[in-house]
Chain A
Amino acid sequence: MSDPRDPAPKNPGTKKPGLAMWLPLGLFAAFFVLVIWGLVRPANREVESAFIGKPLPAFDLPPASDDRPGLNTTVFSGKPRLLNVFASWCVPCAVESPQLAALAQQGVEIDGVAIRDRKDDVARFLAQNGNPFARIGKDDLSKVQLAIGSSGVPETFVIDGKGVIRYQHIGDIRPEDVPLILRKLAEAGS
């Protein structure tokens, strides 16, 4: 304060604690570390279901297709099954159909839930992409989807023999995902 106009009374008794002056820098450093982490983290915009490990809520859906029965909760007993949430209007759902077919061929039982779909469209979709499903329920109001914490199509859930959700796969199943799904099914069966 060499400014001669400075009228501030000097008060040596009330010296500022030096440490507080470093607080802003500390906060900034914390911010910096956080956003660096945010930049390098793998992009993960998916919302995972919080319902894994919990039993499927009870539901009873009418059939979405003429040659398959509808879907209700009583099916999920005995052997682990896959529950595939799909829709005829969803492109990745068509993309994953060979993988579902491969799984079905290996003896995996797959049940489908068609989200916001028409019977005609489902029939056309199944004719084009094959039908790996044992049962297909029609979920026009996304009720089952909401009840199990699924936030999009396609999603595939592993349900064990007691009807408990054991694993959720978000997005289309790629060929390299098949072994993982088989392993999760085996774990659910043991």
Chain B
Amino acid sequence: MRYLMLALALLLATPVVAQDMLPPAPYAYKQLPDPAQEAKAQALMETLRCLKCQSQAISDSDAPMAGDMRHQVRTRIAAGEDPEAIRQWLIERYGDYVSYAPQVKPITWPLFAAPLLFLALAALLLRKRFRRSTNSGDRA
């Protein structure tokens, strides 16, 4: 079902009405000349959420606002700003929603505790099994 819906979402994502007429921001579709900086910008853009779209990173969206956000990210990186500082700048304005990388905060600690919890649980389960089984292995 999902890609069927995706197709329709794509249709909706580019409505013909209510689209601005301005050309995209200079760095919306232009890469930074320095490949190292561009790589940094790209990595960051892949983890920032497009605010006008349903669920897409700004690096994957043709929405004008996503283009403007890419422009911001690229120009700031070019000015030597740290990617994480840019992320924080956006989080200050849009909340954690804007970042696909959840920040470690009281509200998100279960997300980060979960893998450890799962591993601990798995270790417990496996240990119990194998401790028992070594006995029966000896018998065998």
Contacts and interface: CB of A to CB of B under 8 A. Distances in A.
Interface of A: 9, 11, 14, 47-51, 54, 87, 89-91, 115-118, 121, 140-143, 145-149, 151-152
A152 B91 CA distance: 16
A118 B68 contact: no
A151 B52 contact: yes
B22 interface: yes
Q: Name the residue among A51, A141, A151 with the largest chain B CB count within 10 angstroms.
A: A141
B92 to A, nearest CB: 6
The dominant DSSP class at the B interface is helix
Given A9-B136, A141-B68, A146-B68, A50 B21 contact: no
Contacts, number: 69
Q: Name the residue among A49, A51, A90, A151 with the largest chain B CB count within 10 angstroms.
A: A151
Interface string B71-100: 110000000000000000011111101100
B25 A141 contact: yes
Contacts of B17: 91
30 contacts: A47-B51, A47-B97, A49-B93, A49-B94, A50-B91, A51-B93, A87-B20, A89-B18, A89-B20, A91-B17, A115-B20, A116-B20, A116-B64, A116-B68, A118-B21, A121-B21, A140-B22, A141-B68, A141-B71, A141-B72, A142-B25, A142-B65, A143-B72, A145-B68, A146-B68, A149-B93, A151-B51, A151-B65, A152-B51, A152-B52
A48 B65 CA distance: 16
Nearest to A150: B93
Contacts of B52: 151-152
Interface of B: 17-22, 25, 51-52, 64-65, 68-69, 71-72, 90-95, 97-98, 132, 136
A117 B23 CA distance: 10
B65 A47 contact: no
A141 to B, nearest CB: 5
A117 B20 contact: yes
Contacts of A148: 93
